[in-house]
Amino acid sequence: QVQLVQSGTEVKKPGASVKVSCKASGYTFTLYGIAWVRQAPGLGLEWMGWISGYNGATVYAQKLQGRVTMTTDTSTSTAYMELRSLRSDDTAVYYCARDRGDYDNWGQGTLVTVSS
Partner 1 sequence: QSVLTQPASVSGSPGQSITISCTGTSSDVGGYDYVSWYQQYPGKAPKLMIYDVRNRPSGISDRFSGSKSGNTASLTISGLQAEDEADYYCNSYTSGSTRWVFGGGTKLTVL
- What is d(CA 88, CA 99) in angstroms, rounded to the nearest whole number? 28
* Distance in Å, CB of 88 to partner 1, minimum: 20
What is the bridge-based pairing of β-strands 58-60 and 110-114?
A: unpaired
Select from 18-26, 39-47, 66-74, 81-89 the region that touches partner 1 (CB under 8 A).
39-47
Residue 95 near residue 83, CB atoms below 8 Å:
no
Q: Does 56 bind partner 1 (CB under 8 A)?
A: no
- What is d(CA 72, CA 76) in angstroms, rounded to the nearest whole number? 9
Q: Does 95 bind partner 1 (CB under 8 A)?
A: yes
The SS3 assignment for 75 reads coil
Select from 10-18, 20-28, 45-53, 73-81 the region that touches partner 1 (CB under 8 A).
45-53
Count of residues that interact with partner 1, criterion CB under 8 A: 21
The SS3 assignment for 30 reads helix
Q: Does 10 bind partner 1 (CB under 8 A)?
A: no
Residues that bind partner 1 (CB under 8 A): 35, 37, 44-47, 50, 59, 61-63, 95, 97, 101-104, 106-109
